[in-house]
Structure formats: structure tokens, C-alpha cells
Amino acid sequence: MYTHCVYTVCRVLGMSIGHTLLGLLESGPRHGYDLKRAFDEKFGHDRPLHYGQVYSTMSRLLKNGLVEVDGIEAGGGPERKRYAITDAGITDVEQWLATPEKPAEYLQSTLYTKVVLALLTHRDAGDILDNQRSEHLRSMRILTDRKRHGDLADQLVCDHALFHLEADLRWLELTAARLDKLRVEVAR
């Protein structure tokens, strides 16, 4: 169901930073500063990460066994630590990518992140889009059914939600059509 105010932008972003950093580690171990740079380059166009976010996220991932410290450069603060993803970390990314998002507002940044990460880690980004379409359609069927059996007020409320879901879906279709181009671009 399409619901307002369930997710705020921050919450969605906050939830995906960990997975995004994990995904970036899949192609090989990286230092803290390198992770921040890669994140900002691929996903942080208008919202670069603070170092503080990187460290708090990495220490949570460490605690949960999803990453391990692979080395520490001499003379360094936390940005000099080198992190490597663990098997549990890879499984975690895998599950996150395979689980469609509940249709909600401000979804596109999470979906964009998933698609780019899938391409970066040589997974099937088309699958992510297909699964998400399916999840959206599930919501649209419920709304369509409610609309059919409801009064005019129901119809108007459902229509509003349906148009928003449809906008998401149009973005999904367009992205699906551009996957080949995007793959080339993210590989640069």
C-alpha cells in the first residue's frame, strides 16, 4: 500500500547507507576515505557522506560481522582503516537487493542505489526492476479493487495513490530500457 509519511527521506537513506557501503566493498577491500569517495561519486551527487556517517556505519557493520578490518595504514585515524566484506556481508547485500521495496514516497533514491550497486557487482539489475514492478502491481491491484467497490471519495483517494505508483513504474521501465547504457557508465 502506498502510504504517506511512513518513510522520511532520512530514514530511507539511513537504511541504505550500510548496504551501499557493503556493496561497494564487494569488488575489493577499501579504506574509509576511499569508501566515502566512491559513495559520493556514485550515489552522493547532492548529499555527500560525512566522515562521521562512514565511521558509525562501518563500526555497526564490524559489530554485526558484515565487514572485517583488513589492515591499518600507519599514522592514521579511522579513515586509514581498510575494510573487507565478509561472507555474511555478501549474503546481506544479496538479500537486500533481492527484496523489493514497499511502495512508498521517496523510493527512487533507494531503487537507484540498488540498480547501480547491482550493476557494479555484476548482478542482474533487470531482476531488481522486475521484482519491484511486481511489488508495485500488487499494491495497484489492491487499490484498483478498492476503487471498483468504493464510492467516489474512495475512487479519488485510490486514484491519487495509483498515479503515484504509476509514476514509479514509468521510471522503472525507463531505467530498464537504459540498463545497458547505465552499466557502461557506472563501470567508468
Partner 1 sequence: MNAPAAPAGSLLTAEDLRKAYGPTVALDGAGFSIHPGEVVAVMGPSGSGKSTLLHCLAGIVPPDSGSIRYAGREMATMNDAERSSLRRSEFGFVFQFGQLVPELTCVENVALPLRLNGTSRKEAEKTALGWMQRLEVDDLAKKRPGEVSGGQGQRVAVARSLVTGPRVLFADEPTGALDSLNGERVMELLTDAARSTNAAVVLVTHEARVAAYSDREIVVRDGRSRDMERAV
Binding site for partner 1 (CB under 8 A): 126, 130-131, 133-134, 136-137, 140-141, 143-144, 148, 162, 165-166, 169-170, 173, 176-177
Q: Within 13 Å, how many C-alpha atoms sit on residue 119's CB side?
A: 21
Residue with cell 521517496: 106
What's the min distance (Å) between Cβ of 122 and partner 1?
Answer: 18
What's the min distance (Å) between Cβ of 69 and partner 1?
Answer: 37
What's the min distance (Å) between Cβ of 164 and partner 1?
Answer: 11
What's the min distance (Å) between Cβ of 144 and partner 1?
Answer: 4
Closest to partner 1 by CB, 82 or 133? 133
Closest to partner 1 by CB, 29 or 150? 150
Distance CA 31, CA 134 (A): 38
Which residues, at least 6 apart from 40, have a Cβ–Cβ distance to it below 8 Å?
48, 49
Strands 81-85 vs 67-72: parallel, antiparallel or unpaired: antiparallel
Closest to partner 1 by CB, 157 or 162? 162
Residue 116: closest CA among 9, 18, 5, 24: 24
Distance CA 149, CA 165 (A): 20
Closest to partner 1 by CB, 25 or 140? 140
